[in-house]
Structure 1
């Protein structure tokens, strides 16, 4: 599984599942075997101890124990980690809606991680890679206003160069992006078939949009009469705060080296919008298989838009499902559709990742669609399964600790997925190696830390 994709916030996943990492060991230095890092490459694990974040290189994820003490390098507390090929890993810090900060690191010849460059950029709601650059995406105000001083919303980009530390900014008007009057955000950047694919998420209509395209308002009752909501769901009077099109999925397909060109928009009404969601963060749920086919997964979140006495919403009906855009095509394959609520445990997805070939690791709502719709941030997402896309089949993952919670991003290699698991019984977190053919998981490397964030492979510069 190439780490060329939108990563997710490990802390958010734990918040959604109601679980947290708890340090339950004392400060006594226990003997560990600290696997060696001989060879041309090493696995670089991101982990946390208390408030500190570390990167530590190991030679294997299959067995042994490693400590961040002495072996690890303390780094900035990344909210997200992006492995750029085998050369760099980027730590990106969310900063709770403020300006983002970040740094890139490389693997030194001595097996220690070294800082390369630091960055400051707009806040992050989505991110990925494109060529030599790591790209961050967020939404915010543009410089464009109408005659009533309503501000048009924009997609704000930062291009962080992995080779020389430079960075560029870009802006794209998010209003009426899909031609339906709504502002949008993006969830995920996928490099495949010499193109970039991104899931486009409609987010309702702003004051600017309602004034500019009044004919795009499908129901005047959807326009808010007063301020309301809280946190990432807060809204003002005179807007439509959620989409009028919850049962549609959109994928923008770009060529070139930036987002200045006009994309092709692939659209379907067989599934709802494609992203995982946790407050203001949008998790990638579009992934390419090894043959270039791009699979577009939807949790069916449109069903969570429920009207109240003071706020009318358009409630979706589509279940969790997946469609695909075949390699070289620019529209959805009309002959491919899978309803996840009709196969396996019949549970909707929360997040997903490509592992190898046409195998995908799914993180599911363990208690089903009703818990997803009504459970909010307390919904249980502690179920994993393997999806074989060509066969349209699901295999449950077995062998995981019953009390385990999942953390960070899985890493895929040679037909296996390595997922970090923590338990509440006092043991340190560990990687579990999942066979994509059978779904069987076995315990691998243990990390003496409070939490494992993610892992990726990197190479030594001198070898």
Structure 2
């Protein structure tokens, strides 16, 4: 992650008319279930392996398998985002530049559009017609984060710059963005304050504060920091803690997992706060005490499904941790301040993981999540918020589901 991007990497290597059948070249054999849904699968193996991208015509029934199917990705630790009807596969380079591969779907099959390299990044999100990528330093002696702007029409890197991550808090620590999100014509970057030194890189002396840095776009100039002391930091490492609803209000969740010396230190509850549309301040009249309303759970992730409803990953407070992902689901309505557990899932003890990069049609009730079981089987589950039930759907053979998306 220390390697600087070069102009050579900024040139895209466009790939067209691929006809080879070699998986080593990233092409796809005829899938069992062609369609417009994309399921990323990590094969079960004892050593580092590359993901496969499978297509599916339905998420509610049938079976797909990586055996003889799918597009094998180049390298391990892939992350995915969909924007402008394209699917972007991003390699976490483990200290090296990371490849970004772009696909669309033609006749139910993945079609590679481009392949290029940037620095490995720790936060990325759609902004206007772009993908904004941010590489965030973890060393107090290196205060500059680097951002890149990828236009999703031209598939070119059309801008880059730096951000001083010690400027937002000005407290002797660095701001590490948990994620980024477009809100109006601004970029909101919730962050956790980290020492970035001294053998406790992710530790902090400020465990009971929440911050959102607000940047102009496309200039990425710091305009303001929105602050609150009712919760710990917003989101989690590599987790989007902001939810933008239809009326423009922004909701923010905190898991209350700030640490010092590897020990949880925040005294604040897991909670949800709010920024009213058209303002850049936390609404002090709104507070959703998640631990209290849920009777002892904390929120670890969520997906907005419309109608002020989120499907939230939750875990009992006794089991929370900086990197613990909930193996239970709940429907959370942020306006009504309600919490309703989702039934129909396997017992948490039988679940190895639930995917956090998931698909919703944003109808206020429907989401599709991958559930990987301890017995090695994996399924897509359809969550219906109207009756708080999860129904088993598509079976995925050969590995663990990591992502579920859809493009037209």
TM-score, normalised via structure 2 length: 0.82
The question of 1:43 aligning with 2:3 is answered: no
Question: Which of 105, 108, 111 matches 1:111?
Answer: 108
| DSSP-derived class of the 1:124 partner | coil
Q: CA RMSD in A?
A: 2.6
Aligned pair in 2 of structure 1 residues 184, 289: CA closer, same or farther (>3 Å)? same
Question: 1:223-238 residue pairs with structure 2 within 5 A?
Answer: 229=199, 233=200
Aligned to 1:146: none
Aligned to 1:392: 337
Aligned to 1:288: 244
Question: 1:264-303 residue pairs with structure 2 within 5 A?
Answer: 264-277=224-237, 282-302=238-258
CA distance, structure 1, for counterparts of residue 356 and residue 138 of structure 2: 31
The question of 1:97 aligning with 2:58 is answered: no
> 1:127: how far off?
1.5
> 1:69: how far off?
4.2
TM-score, normalised via structure 1 length: 0.73
> 1:426: how far off?
4.6
The structure in which a higher percent of residues are helix is 1
> 1:112: how far off?
1.6
> 1:398: how far off?
0.9
**Which consecutive unaligned segments of at least 5 residues does structure 1 have?**
1-32, 143-149, 207-226, 235-240, 309-313
| DSSP-derived class of the 2:136 partner | strand
Matched positions, count = 367
Does structure 2 conserve the Cα–Cα contact (< 8 Å) formed by 1:130 and 1:257? no
Question: 1:135-150 residue pairs with structure 2 within 5 A?
Answer: 135-140=132-137
CA distance, structure 2, for counterparts of residue 63 and residue 388 of structure 1: 28
| DSSP-derived class of the 2:319 partner | helix
Does structure 2 conserve the Cα–Cα contact (< 8 Å) formed by 1:43 and 1:58? yes
Question: Which of 406, 412, 415 matches 2:360?
Answer: 412
Aligned to 2:8: none
| DSSP-derived class of the 1:188 partner | coil
Aligned pair in 2 of structure 1 residues 266, 425: CA closer, same or farther (>3 Å)? same
Aligned to 1:81: 80
**Which consecutive unaligned segments of at least 5 residues does structure 2 have?**
1-30
The one-character-per-residue Cα deviations of 1:251-273 (angstroms, maximum 9, x if unpaired) are 123333241x2322211111111
Which structure's CA Rg is the greater one?
A: 1
Aligned to 1:431: 380
Aligned pair in 2 of structure 1 residues 121, 395: CA closer, same or farther (>3 Å)? same
The one-character-per-residue Cα deviations of 1:383-402 (angstroms, maximum 9, x if unpaired) are 21111100001010111112
The structure in which a higher percent of residues are strand is 2
> 1:124: how far off?
1.9
Aligned to 2:57: 59
